[in-house]
Amino acid sequence: MMFASLLRIFALMVKELRVLWEDPGSRRVLIVPIIVQCLIFGYGVTFNLERVPYVLFDESASPQSAQLVMALEGSGYFRREQTCFDERCFLQAMDRGAGLVGLHFAPDFAVSAELNVIADARNTTSANTAAAYLTEAASLLLQRSDVQPLFAPWFAEAEAERQAAGQPALSFTYRYYYNENNITRFGILTGMILGLSAIQVIILAALTVAREREDGTFDMLLMTPANSLEILIGKALPPAMAATGQSLILTAICTFWFDIPCRGSLLLLLLVIALFSLAVVGIGLAISAVVSNAQQAATTAFLTVLPCVILSGMLTPDSAVAPWFRFVLYINPLYYGIQAVQRIYLEGAGFFDIWHLLLPFGVFGLITMPAAMYLFRHRLT
């Protein structure tokens, strides 16, 4: 009985894959988005930051460092996410993405006037913007007459050298984590690896039943020995497989065409992409079950995918989203998936570093698949 059921599911999968490849419209959906989205999302996206989260590690404990921290937080651009008291805590906080920038005041900061800044360059535009905000806030601080006596030794000792070169009294040393050369496409294209999977799996799954209704083959499908669960599984796996394959193609493009080094395990990356595709395929199947034709399916799928991509943390960082609206990010599986993919690809994270990001996939799948099953059975009856 189980073997016969597996055979029916396999036959449905083969049929769906053949339809995806033989239909000209489906072929365009499979091929064109990879090229178009690489160009659009690789070169046409910028960011605007508010309340940049940062991690503080102050070994100086000097009046100068305290004054600078107060100026940063008073500027409205920065929000302290965590305070560390040792280097290990500081590096671990940056590794898990607690802050977009990390500020390290060395023990001799009051004398050297050198602040070490670590920027998370997985999102290069955000890192650059945060660095510019930091420089601006420090420059405004040094121009204030009420704090100039505190920083007078810096100006006195280095006035001739630095002012002759047109440099400020306070200097910054920047290091970019995970993207040492600070190349913009690193963050965008690695985020699109899973963004493309979300777009494709929802659209392809949404078109499955709607396309058959228009072609008049859906009634014939109901006459086969396959039950509603077997039909659902047979129609769910091909879109997930196609989306996973496209994401792997985009991964190859990132690695070999754009020279973005993959520091993590490709098998783990494949696992994350496949689990994500299976988790969100229920959205497309639910859409396919309630609409009447392919045009409605495509429109509904697009209106569903667009907010998911915009509110995934890929196009705008979560720190730029209004706090009262931030819950939408936390119920979006793409938000967690992109973090997992970028940590594997750019950081070289292992399974135990990102397992907590995979749990929302299971929760989301347990919600969407039963919902799709209910709608599917309701439509069949």
- Mean pLDDT is lowest, of 34-38, 102-106, 179-183, for 34-38
Q: What is the model's pLDDT at position 320? A: 73
- Mean pLDDT is lowest, of 31-40, 311-320, 342-351, for 31-40
Q: Could you state, in order of their start, the residue ranges of all structural domains in the chain?
A: 2-44+184-380, 52-177
pTM of the model: 0.70
Is the CATH number 3.40.1710.10 carried by domain 52-177? yes
Greater model confidence, 226 or 166? 226
What is the sign of the dihedral through the CA atoms of 182, 198, 41 and 51?
A: negative
What is the C-alpha separation between 247 and 232, in angstroms, rounded?
23
pLDDT grade for 296, boundaries at 50, 70 and 90? confident
What is the C-alpha separation between 246 and 243, in angstroms, rounded?
5
What digits encode the pLDDT tens for the residues 115-127? 888 888 877 777 8
**SS3 labels along 52-107:** EEEEEEECCCCHHHHHHHHHHHHCCCEEEEEEECCHHHHHHHHHCCCCCEEEEECC
Q: How many CA atoms lie within 13 A of 357 on its CB side?
A: 25
Greater model confidence, 256 or 168? 256
Backbone Cα Rg of the chain: 26
- Mean pLDDT is lowest, of 26-40, 100-114, 126-140, 186-200, for 26-40
Joined tokens for residue 256: 């070999």
What digits encode the pLDDT tens for the residues 213-222? 777 676 677 6
Q: What is the model's pLDDT at position 26? A: 64
The set of residues, in sequence order, having a beta carbon less than 8 Å from that of 343 and lying 6+ positions away, is: 97, 264, 349, 353, 354, 357
- Mean pLDDT (whole number) for 266-289: 90
Task: Decide: helix, strand or coil at residue 246.
Answer: helix
> Which strands, in side-by-side order, build the sheet including 52-58?
78-84, 52-58, 101-105, 114-120, 171-177
- Mean pLDDT is lowest, of 30-44, 61-75, 180-194, 291-305, for 30-44
What digits encode the pLDDT tens for the residues 145-185? 666 666 666 555 555 555 555 555 566 667 778 887 667 77
Tell me what percent of the residues of the chain surpass a pLDDT of 90.
12
Q: What is the mean pLDDT of the chain?
A: 80
Greater model confidence, 17 or 32? 17
Distances from the Cα of 223 to the Cα of 10, 227, 290, 376, angstroms:
17, 10, 20, 16
Phi-psi sector, 97: left (phi>0), alpha (psi -120 to 50), beta: left
Enumerate the H helices of 253-330 as residue ranges.
266-290, 294-310, 327-330
What is the C-alpha separation between 275 and 268, in angstroms, rounded?
11
- Beta strands 101-105 and 52-58 are parallel
pLDDT grade for 291, boundaries at 50, 70 and 90? confident
What digits encode the pLDDT tens for the residues 257-270? 888 889 999 999 99
Greater model confidence, 142 or 6? 6
Greater model confidence, 224 or 311? 311
Q: What is the model's pLDDT at position 207? A: 82
- Mean pLDDT (whole number) for 352-381: 84
Residue 279 has pLDDT above 60, yes or no: yes
What is the C-alpha separation between 142 and 71, in angstroms, rounded?
10
pLDDT grade for 46, boundaries at 50, 70 and 90? very low
User: Which of these, 185, 279, 278, lies nearest to 237 by C-alpha position?
Assistant: 278
Is-contact 186 179, C-beta < 8 A? yes
